């Protein structure tokens, strides 16, 4: 057996996992860059994706499996641990790859990235695991630790979810987040119908189903949907179904003036813009803290043919006092910077990098942004607060503190275009197990007229 090991999915997986662990970058972005750079065939791209997501999603479980077999863990280099995780992931979770292929490539990777001594150690560990089998999760006596290791979610986060949501709901969420995330798109109904886009994708072998959450959404289990001509022409954009609920909830009319305070990369901005009419005077003012991300908003607006109603600028949403006039917007959106814990399936590294103290630090920023933009809402206008996290500290606790300080606002039901099985009053909380989407929170606050 002879392969160009440096271009194999397993070698690339080990390199990519090592880079993500070292730099803290998002795996999905690094993965897309690697697939494009290496020009991988679909089968190899699929295996690389499976290995990268699988190892990150199951990292704590894999380390539990490996622990009895690594005698001196402090001497094991990071890349070598990733190599073992990739190998054990294949042995435990993938049933079509023979152990001999796994052992061979793990050894070759070790020779390439280390030396023959490390390669020998890798082989010895894997042979031992093959003979003895991995330890059983049922041997973990402490229930919280067992749930944490089984789902590969840090104990502090499991404990918090149980405290806030109860054991049954937490277990349902944890069972969901290690399943592959579906791909979803929002059709740009200004230039194409949902049926037209669905038929066009089907001709390319990309079968989709209608979204349960949005009338303009289509869903597909896996697959890369941003590489089609229809995407390039702006007939649709890639957006999670839960995220599509935000603009729909704002009840935007064609002539409305809208402020999007934290807009990049522009998915919700362009959705907001789809409800506006330049002829009627409709307009969305989009801000983002990072100048390099403003270009993403502009590019998305141009591709989706809504640039005539979008003005994107770089500015800190906490300092908008003199940038836009007070009480001048019919709708204001604060899609707040958050921990992203609702994205644990799509960005599994988040669950390991977040710490408990992050939640209150982010809460402070979220309240500062809301305080800054509240005065910009017209009397009778709506302030929409949304996050992609599922913990109270960044959701209902923020709303409670904001309302305690701003009696001029009151919560109103969250409008949805389709009837949902979750409550929409006084806010909408969507968890990954409800519809297989990202976790999301939306609250609409109406400014009183007197």
Contact (CB, 8 A) for 338 and 362: yes
Euclidean distance between CA atoms 274 and 189, whole angstroms: 8
Choose the catalytic residue: 52, 336, 388, 414: 388
* CA of residue 114 relative to chain centroid, distance: 34
Active-site annotation holds for 338: no
Euclidean distance between CA atoms 18 and 40, whole angstroms: 20
Distances (CA, A) of 168 to 60, 173, 379, 428, 434: 21, 9, 42, 20, 13
Residues tagged in the binding site annotation for S-adenosyl-L-methionine: 262-268, 288, 316, 335
17 closest CA partner among 77, 65, 83: 83
Euclidean distance between CA atoms 428 and 439, whole angstroms: 11
Exposed e or buried b for every residue in 240-273, given b needs 16+ CB within 10 A? bbbbbbbbbbbebeeebbbbbbbbbebbbbbbbb
DSSP3 helix / strand / coil % (the chain, rounded to 5): 50, 15, 35
Exposed e or buried b for every residue in 389-413, given b needs 16+ CB within 10 A? bbbbbbbbbbbeebbeebebbeebe
Residues tagged in the binding site annotation: 262-268, 288, 316, 335
Question: Phi and psi for 210 in degrees, rounded to 5?
Answer: -65, 145
Question: Phi and psi for 411 in degrees, rounded to 5?
Answer: -70, 145
Q: Where are the alpha helices (DSSP H) in 255-346?
A: 267-274, 291-303
- Dihedral sign from CA coordinates of 363, 365, 367, 370: negative
Active-site positions?
388
């Amino acid at each position: 057996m002879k392969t160009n090991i440096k271009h194999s999915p397993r070698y690339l997986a080990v390199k990519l996992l090592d880079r993500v662990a070292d730099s803290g970058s998002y795996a999905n972005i690094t993965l897309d860059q690697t697939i494009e750079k290496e020009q991988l065939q679909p089968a190899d791209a699929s295996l690389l994706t499976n290995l990268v997501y699988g190892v990150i999603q199951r990292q704590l479980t894999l380390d539990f499996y490996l622990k009895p077999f690594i005698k001196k863990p402090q001497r094991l280099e990071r890349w070598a641990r990733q190599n073992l995780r990739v190998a054990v992931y294949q042995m435990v979770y993938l049933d079509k790859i023979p152990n001999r292929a796994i052992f061979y490539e793990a050894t070759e990777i070790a020779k390439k990235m280390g030396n023959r001594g490390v390669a020998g150690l890798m082989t010895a560990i894997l042979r031992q695991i093959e003979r003895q089998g991995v330890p059983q999760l049922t041997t973990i006596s402490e229930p919280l630790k067992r749930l944490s290791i089984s789902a590969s979610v840090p104990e502090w986060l499991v404990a918090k979810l149980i405290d806030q949501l109860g054991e049954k709901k937490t277990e349902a969420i944890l069972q969901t987040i290690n399943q592959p995330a579906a791909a979803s798109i929002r059709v740009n109904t200004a230039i194409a119908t949902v049926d037209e886009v669905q038929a066009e994708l089907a001709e390319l072998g990309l079968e989709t189903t209608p979204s349960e959450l949005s009338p303009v959404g289509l869903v597909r289990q896996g697959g890369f949907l941003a590489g089609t001509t229809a995407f390039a022409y702006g007939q649709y954009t890639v957006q999670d179904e839960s995220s599509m609920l935000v603009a729909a909830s704002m009840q935007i009319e064609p002539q409305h003036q809208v402020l999007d305070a934290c807009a990049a990369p522009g998915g919700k901005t362009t959705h907001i813009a789809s409800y506006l009419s330049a002829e009627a005077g409709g307009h969305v003012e989009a801000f983002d803290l990072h100048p390099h991300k403003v270009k993403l908003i502009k590019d998305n607006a141009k591709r989706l043919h809504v640039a005539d109603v979008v003005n994107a600028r770089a500015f800190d949403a906490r300092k908008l006092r003199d940038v836009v006039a007070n009480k001048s917007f019919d709708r204001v959106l604060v899609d707040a910077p958050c921990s992203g814990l609702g994205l644990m399936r799509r960005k599994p590294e988040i669950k390991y990098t977040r710490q408990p103290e992050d939640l209150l630090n982010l809460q402070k920023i979220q309240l500062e942004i809301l305080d800054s933009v509240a005065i910009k809402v017209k009397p009778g206008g709506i302030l929409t607060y949304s996050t992609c996290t599922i913990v109270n500290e960044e959701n209902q606790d923020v709303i409670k503190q904001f309302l305690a300080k701003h009696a001029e606002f009151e919560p109103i039901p969250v409008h949805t275009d389709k009837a949902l099985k979750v409550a929409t009053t006084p806010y909408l909380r969507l968890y990954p197990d409800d519809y297989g989407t990202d976790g999301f929170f939306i609250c609409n606050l109406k400014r009183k007229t007197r």
